[in-house]
Amino acid sequence: MQHEASIREPLILGNKTYQQITDDVLAPIVGPAPRGWKILITISSLVALYGIGCILYLIGTGVGVWGLNKTVGWAWDITNFVWWVGIGHAGTLISAVLLLFRQKWRMAINRSAEAMTIFAVIMAATFPGIHMGRLWLGYWVLPLPNQFGSLWVNFNSPLLWDVFAISTYFSVSLVFWYIGLIPDFATIRDRVTGSWQKKIYGVLSFGWSGRAKHWNRFEEVSLVLAGIATPLVFSVHSIVSMDFATSVIPGWHTTIFPPYFVSGAVFSGFAMVQTLMLVMRKTMNLKDYIHVRHVEYMNIVIIVTGSIVGVAYLTELFISWYSGVEYESYAFINRFSGPYALSYWTMMTCNVISPQLFWIKKIRRSLVATFILSIVVNIGMWFERYVIIVTSLHRDYNPSSWGEFNATSMDVGVFIGTLGIFLTLFLLFTRFFPVLALNELKSILKSSGDSQKQAALKESK
């Protein structure tokens, strides 16, 4: 049995029982869809359809419909890829790292954060896929025996490491998520009345019956998966950063990249979790489970990672001067005063200054302020990747090959489209899946439920 000081703020508000938790989490699944949900899914699926249209047009016509040129061969596509992968880091971090640290507050948010991870990684993987131009040859990135002679993929290249890292991360996150979902699907199976619903949730729940031995194995599997997913999270974004850091482009070729990228990823991932969670708690009526205490803890993580990112920006800037390498110095002078200076200063404002507002307790515990700042951080993190990629590429060693990148409507369309697809998937998840790890929540009800704590306090007096 868990113990927690009775004066500590409870994690589950209101007078809840085990049954009440089931009722609350199952309400959106068994009941009619809330109005807010219907409006949101209509908008997001229209945007998604537009995005799919843009992607089909891109595949049909060629990558030339983007604003890329021979100087800037990577721009919005890889910016979006890194941005989405970064967002995809929060889910596994919340469920794996916080599980290892035995943080009970993760239980209200881990399920939906993991879902967010999976959808974000799908969106991320779309970009290198469509950037290939010939998507149907995508399987060439795998080491398969082939008819071109003994031609293997190059295992010395970080781009190939990324293939392994992203696919491992995606599939392991999926397994981790699904194993946690099985017992909750069983709860839905035993609750729903419609015969089709019963059948579908019956198949999804794999015949889970909640035997003591199965729970024993369940906990071990969760713990070991968390143990191996933790280094996996760090490795994935480190490898993404090496896509840049192992090349000799000024502004990319730095050893600071892996930790800098990982903290940036956690930073933006938590911001996206905040955005989605605050909408979800309102539309799905989960205010007793996701509340100020959760939001405050996540904001603290945002301050920490945001400050690491800030320090990394300043370190980069200092080293570019201190190194004495003129190409390196110019890359950074160009960043803050060149044609893309606006992006640089947007990035600085959104990522370095805005999260520092969370030092003020009132702001940290305000849901409205958190919602606004979480969006600001995500905008900032998108610009960070844009700044790193485009400003470094557009002016490198040889001024005669300098160029500029301007986004086309297809750059914008594909990006907005992935936002729509992502949101549509997430909304479908909130309607048909248990959005909270309901059975895990029951295990902390006695130690961290509001009425249970009140009772314990009364008893001690």
Whole-Å CA distances, 114 to 111, 172, 211:
5, 11, 25
Count, residues near another protein per rule CB under 8 A: 67
Site membership for another protein, residue 14 (CB under 8 A): no
Site membership for another protein, residue 124 (CB under 8 A): no
Q: Which is nearer to another protein, 215 or 397 (CB)?
A: 215
* Contact flags string 238-267 toward another protein, x per CB under 8 A: -x--x-------------------------
The secondary structure element, H or E, covering residue 173 is: helix 158-189
Site membership for another protein, residue 5 (CB under 8 A): no
Among 37, 161, 289, 415, interactor with another protein by CB under 8 A: 161
At its nearest, how many Å lie between another protein and the CB of residue 183?
Answer: 7
Site membership for another protein, residue 144 (CB under 8 A): no
Site membership for another protein, residue 142 (CB under 8 A): no
Q: Are 166 and 1 in contact (CB under 8 A)?
A: no
The full length of the chain comes to 461
Q: Which is nearer to another protein, 182 or 357 (CB)?
A: 182
Please provide residue 360's backbone torsions phi and psi, each rounded to the nearest 5 degrees.
Answer: -80, 120
Among 42, 103, 171, 401, interactor with another protein by CB under 8 A: 171
Q: From 41-49, 145-153, 395-403, 419-427, give the range in contact with another protein by CB under 8 A.
A: 145-153
Site membership for another protein, residue 45 (CB under 8 A): no
Amino acid identity at 46: L
Site membership for another protein, residue 452 (CB under 8 A): no
At its nearest, how many Å lie between another protein and the CB of residue 247?
Answer: 12
State the alpha helices, DSSP H only, in 338-437: 341-348, 361-364, 367-386, 392-394, 409-432
Q: From 421, 411, 323, 433, select the one nearest 29 (Cα to Cα).
A: 433
Q: Are 50 and 416 in contact (CB under 8 A)?
A: yes
Q: From 85-93, 217-225, 257-265, 414-422, give the range in contact with another protein by CB under 8 A.
A: 217-225
Q: Which is nearer to another protein, 209 or 356 (CB)?
A: 209
Among 5, 7, 151, 342, interactor with another protein by CB under 8 A: 151
* End-to-end alpha carbon distance in the chain: 22
Site membership for another protein, residue 208 (CB under 8 A): yes
Q: Are 430 and 41 in contact (CB under 8 A)?
A: no
Q: From 11, 72, 4, 44, select the one nearest 406 (Cα to Cα).
A: 72
Site membership for another protein, residue 125 (CB under 8 A): no
Site membership for another protein, residue 175 (CB under 8 A): yes
- Render the burial of 95-119: b for 16+ CB within 10 Å, e for the rest: bbbbbeeeebbbbbbbbbbbbbbbb
Q: Which is nearer to another protein, 190 or 404 (CB)?
A: 190
Q: Are 347 and 383 in contact (CB under 8 A)?
A: yes
Task: Tell the burial category of 304 from Cβ atoms under 10 Å away from its Cβ (0-12, 13-18, 19+).
Answer: middle
Q: From 299, 280, 273, select the one nearest 93 (Cα to Cα).
A: 273
At its nearest, how many Å lie between another protein and the CB of residue 244?
Answer: 15
CA distance 225 to 173: 9
At its nearest, how many Å lie between another protein and the CB of residue 436?
Answer: 13
Q: Bridge-partner residues for 439, per DSSP? A: none
Among 62, 133, 194, 210, interactor with another protein by CB under 8 A: 210
User: Which 418-447 residues touch another protein, going by CB under 8 A?
Assistant: 439-440, 442-443, 446
CA distance 245 to 238: 10
Q: Are 105 and 297 in contact (CB under 8 A)?
A: yes
Max CA pair span of the chain: 81
Site membership for another protein, residue 143 (CB under 8 A): yes
Amino acid identity at 297: Y
User: Which 327-356 residues touch another protein, going by CB under 8 A?
Assistant: none
Among 134, 211, 287, 361, interactor with another protein by CB under 8 A: 211
Among 56, 203, 455, 457, interactor with another protein by CB under 8 A: 203
Q: Are 251 and 332 in contact (CB under 8 A)?
A: yes
Q: From 69-77, 205-213, 333-341, 350-358, give the range in contact with another protein by CB under 8 A.
A: 205-213
> Which residues form the interface with another protein (CB under 8 A)?
1, 17-19, 22, 143, 150-156, 158, 160-161, 164-165, 167-168, 171-172, 175-176, 179, 182-183, 186-187, 189-191, 202-221, 223-225, 228-229, 231-232, 235, 239, 242, 439-440, 442-443, 446
